[in-house]
Structure 1
Amino acid sequence: MGDQSDDGDTPAALKQRIAALEHQLGIDDLTGLATKQWFFDYFAENARGADALMFIDLDDFKSVNDNYGHATGDLLLVQIASALKTAVGDKGKVARVSGDEFVGLFHGIDDQGLEAISGEVLTAISKCQVPVGELRVSRHASIGLAKVKHGMKPRNALIEADKALMEAKRTGKQKAVLLKERGLQLATGMPSVEEVHLGLNRREIGYFVQPIFDIRQAELWGYEALLRWRRPNGEIVGPAQFLETMTEAYNYGATPPLEAAHATAAWAALKQQKNIAFNISSAFLAKVADQKLDWVQTIVGDIPTDHIVFEIVETVVEQNTSDVSRVVSQLREKGIKVALDDFGIGQSTLSRLQTVPVDYVKIDKHFLASAIQSPRDKDILFRMIDLIRASEAKPVVEGIETEEQLALVLETSADYGQGFYLGRPNPTDHWDASPPEMPRR
């Protein structure tokens, strides 16, 4: 399955190409800082319970590019990166995670130390200036801080720091915020276990579906099922705000939304005759590793296996346990397809695709967003897609949100695409009334 690359890679040659690309992924070409990929790897190997994560976002940075051009914005980012390296020094590790966002990890630091280093970082950033005629262009920053818990994954630490960052933005910007655990719940409106339990009982928690297209044929390939909570007040809540609490609610007798999953799977596979993808956590796979595959029907109901896709996150490849690998192999033997989701934001490497083979690799959206802005990042995206195909998996590019991004993806050898430009997540009846079509170019 999948095509070999044009130069006919041997396993050794493929391994060399992968190693070269992974080195390139570790260094940001504009600022010289470490990249998000490198930082997540470092965090996974070195973060401990007494550490803290700092998430830095420049306030109103978009207006620099809009008013003075991207060249000015890039010069300011380079200055800020240099100031960050100086301010942080040997007290921590710092990286650029996306356009105007930076992140730092500090080992064994208390609240007082965090307050001190945050102040130094905010001051250092505010002093950076780029001359534009008689003007001096500068920007302040906001900081979100999160304490690292034992065994915490880098993505989860970043989510917590992001919540603190949103609170810093909401309360005036130009500040650092460390939210205590209880304060974090109250500040972000996180629901309680009891609220989630009630929502499940009322069948308010179910699935929206987002279309995925075969971009070569301009045809609908299938859908991804995405958890949503429709609150009584009409608010639509995404899983980031309730998934962990929902998992905890299961310990108190709550029942998973299986009826909703069955209905969604039947709608896609039987009514639409399309594939349906559900995300499966690595923790769940570990639990069912010693069981037969009866659990598949428990999740999706009685639909043809050749329409089922289970998406697993990178932690499965990172752990690379024999149990999880065996489950993946058993699923594929039964005709169920397996996709590796959000590839490129965790600790896993392309080389591990050779040890845990999957059918599809979904490339995290930040690679496409970066490729639009930077020739180097465009080259990285193209090479990554080619190497995924050489590993006998089919690339799916996530985060296609504009016509320009779709045009770029069509230049690559990717097979599939997904994103808001191709179709937003919606209830199934929305797509009954207005079937998804790939935008014409």
Structure 2
Amino acid sequence: MNNRAVRIAMVAGEASGDLLGAHLIAALKQRLPQVEFFGIGGPKMQALGFQSWYSQETLAVRGYAEVLRHFRKILSIRSALKRRLLANPPDIFIGVDAPDFNFGLEKPLKQNGIPCVHYVSPSIWAWRGQRIHRIGKVVSRILALFPFEPEIYEKQGIPVSYVGHPLADVLPLEDGRDEARELFGVPAQRPVFTLLPGSRQAEVQFMADAFVGAALKVIESLPDAEFFVPLATRETRLLFEAAMQRADARQLPVRLLFGHAHEAMAAADIVLVASGTATLEAALLKRPMVIVYKMAPVTYRIMRCMKGYLPYIGLPNILAGRFVVPEFIQDDATPENLAQALLNLYADRITCAGIAEVFREIHLQLRQNSAEKAAAAVLLHLPEHFLKPAVADTGHAAHAA
């Protein structure tokens, strides 16, 4: 066995990547006798000993217009990171999501003999399908979270392993609505709507006004309704509070929460949620939802022209293969439309029960012990002398993933 520690570089660009990265780090630590992790990561990864050389928040920007505003700083960080990794090469590089940043880093690393595993398939099935030709040149393997993704890569001859989603392993199969309401002290019959305008500042800037406006219209029809708004940071909270002030919504019965998104979703009758990982979380918690996608107009115009493989935006609909829950995109995401969709779902318990059953099936499909499968796939690209003797062959299971 090699006495040197395995050196693993990772870049996770936002909160969802931090969660995935943390689960993977924990699984790899179980399989490698000595290992060091470094690069860019968030608090969950750092809590497991990850050395983050730059702030993860710097990379958490969304859309073409938003990236352009931060382009010089992001490019500077990537250039510095590339120089540092090439000067002292890691044994493997793992890019966790953030494809626009990580692909530009993975290409030179792979060209210099460093294996590059990309964790989370880019959304080529939604748009920018042409990226698949670039992906094959810059990565050694894709770790796919969703069961429909491997076929897309296999057709292009790109190594891929289906690993499932760690949230499906962590979140319970059972509906936890009653327990969550007890936690918040909310009566069982009170209408509760949880609003999730996004974890990034750019998302909240584009979503907050429509979300507040929708809540004001819902309260007109359901005067006893209550609204939970979990927010990830102080900055996003300030942005949402500013939207409430603009709408003169100071009397709106809103609970602004720091974190506790899972509990807030579980307690809700219906969730209003920005498209992204939070839609999957809501689905795994079996909550009916209305999905919203808003961005800078120029970004949206560009993305509309991109070729994709599927007609849906929201992950729950993509995984179900049909429109299970409503989606409102860009100009259609008005307060009136969102409020009507929320009220329609609230009034239709039969439809909501059907949605919950579809989400349970999705949950079972994604529950794959994903951190272990992802770790096994990563180990395929490390020499066996780095591994603990008892698990030296476990990585071969990823061939069947």
TM-score by length of 1: 0.29
The structure whose residues are more often helix, as a share, is 2
TM-score by length of 2: 0.31
Rg comparison, structure with higher value: 1
